Amino acid sequence: MLDNPSYIIDTFFTIFAMTLIIFMVPGFAMLEAGLVRTKNVTSVLTVNVMIYAIASLSFLLIGYEYAFGSWEHQNSMNKYAFFLFQMAFVGKVVNIMSGGVSERSRILPLALFTIIVGAFIYPTIVNITWGANFLADTVLDISDMADLAGSTVIHSTGGWALLAAILIMGPRYGRYKKNGAIQVIPASNIPLVTLGAFLLWIGWFGFNGGSVGSIASKENADAVALTIMNTNTAGLVGAIVGWLMTYFRYKKFDITMILNGALGGLVAVTAGPDQYDIYTPMLIGAIGGALVVIFVPIFDKLKMDDPVGALSVHLINGIWGTLAVGIFVPDVSILTQLKGVIVVGAIVFPLSFAIIFTINKFFTLRAGDKEQQEGIDLTECGMEAYPEFKRSI
């Protein structure tokens, strides 16, 4: 007979879930590489690779113990399996931020910010929510907030950092004309956008499913399956709502809005997929998809330039998803959820603002107008993404 069967199975299950999340690294990379212009694709890819390497290593060397108190925090499975699962989350926070400032951001200052997120900002938020909680006395305690896999801890954290970065950096060169017109910048590679979105979708099964923390009892196996079921459903309905809302307005099928609608639904369901029945995620995902379609033009009106729609997908839906648990789950207080949303915003936004502002003083974050016109691939990387293809723009 096996000794420690639950230890074995949970170690295996957590490795499986972690592996799915790692598919989100090429997922984000392909999504963003497809959404930006050809002349900025190498930079976007480089940033994505650097984020995974730097954020993960910072978390390994510093952030993890700060977040969870010790390497022995979790003893129901192998400690390194648990670490890897947590480590797979960190880069996502910076991915959300870096995606939203792409086509105009220089790489070195982003790399510096990534170190700070991996070693300090993200671990602070984890500490007061999922982690060791020794900071809970010094800040408002939000350890009671229901946030299974991080609608707030991951997605709105990344979203607040992005908001700070956009305010400091301003829009891409030429995006908002003096006469009030907005320059439409189409995605350069739709197959990559589609591939990236589906790698993210699949990664989400590991993200949310693995966050249940165990599969080694009937109760936990049921929670894992329900979580993945509900995660998927919110994505399906988010996609359909993204489709219908754009179709009725423009009579066209807008695949970037369909996919962003799906991602909005996935973010929104992430706070509580283990606690809903199988129909509630349809409503949560529908609102999630709708919020993306509604907020993308609003941010543009506010001249907050976000080439991939990350504010709408991650910040708005991170907030919506966290509140949704309070609305739909009787045992969860919406006030606690709201407090969690506010506390995280009140920590992450000013902290990120101050750090990005300081970095920007010493290492200018924004590429110059001329560099942006030529494309930042040449100035930052000295390498075009598709050097042999003739371009029409």
Q: Which of residues 56-115 bind its own copies (CB under 8 A)?
A: 56-57, 60, 77-81, 83-84, 107
Other Cβ atoms closer than 10 A to 385: 21
**The CA-based dihedral angle spanning residues 266, 356, 383, 92, taken in that order and rounded to the nearest 10 degrees:** -20
* Residue 172 Ramachandran class (φ > 0 left, ψ -120 to 50 alpha, else beta): beta
- 117 touches its own copies by CB under 8 A: no
d(CA 17, CA 85) in angstroms, rounded, equals 7
Shortest distance, position 192 Cβ to its own copies, whole Å: 6
- Scanning residues 8 to 37, which ones bind its own copies (CB under 8 A)? 8-9, 11-13, 15-16, 19-20, 22-23, 25-26, 29-30, 33-34, 37
CA 324 vs CA 108, 150, 273, 294, 335: distances in Å: 38, 13, 11, 18, 11
Total of residues contacting its own copies (CB under 8 A):
108
- Scanning residues 264 to 293, which ones bind its own copies (CB under 8 A)? 278
Identify which range of 250-258, 332-340, 341-349, 358-366 contacts its own copies by CB under 8 A: 250-258
Residues in the chain: 393
Shortest distance, position 176 Cβ to its own copies, whole Å: 21
Compare residues 81 and 341 and give the one whose CB is closer to its own copies.
81
First to last CA, the chain: 66
d(CA 334, CA 355) in angstroms, rounded, equals 31
- 116 touches its own copies by CB under 8 A: no
Q: Which of 62, 168, 187, 327 binds its own copies (CB under 8 A)?
A: 187
- 304 touches its own copies by CB under 8 A: no
Q: Which of 117, 163, 164, 236 binds its own copies (CB under 8 A)?
A: 236
d(CA 287, CA 308) in angstroms, rounded, equals 19
Shortest distance, position 12 Cβ to its own copies, whole Å: 5
Compare residues 215 and 325 and give the one whose CB is closer to its own copies.
215
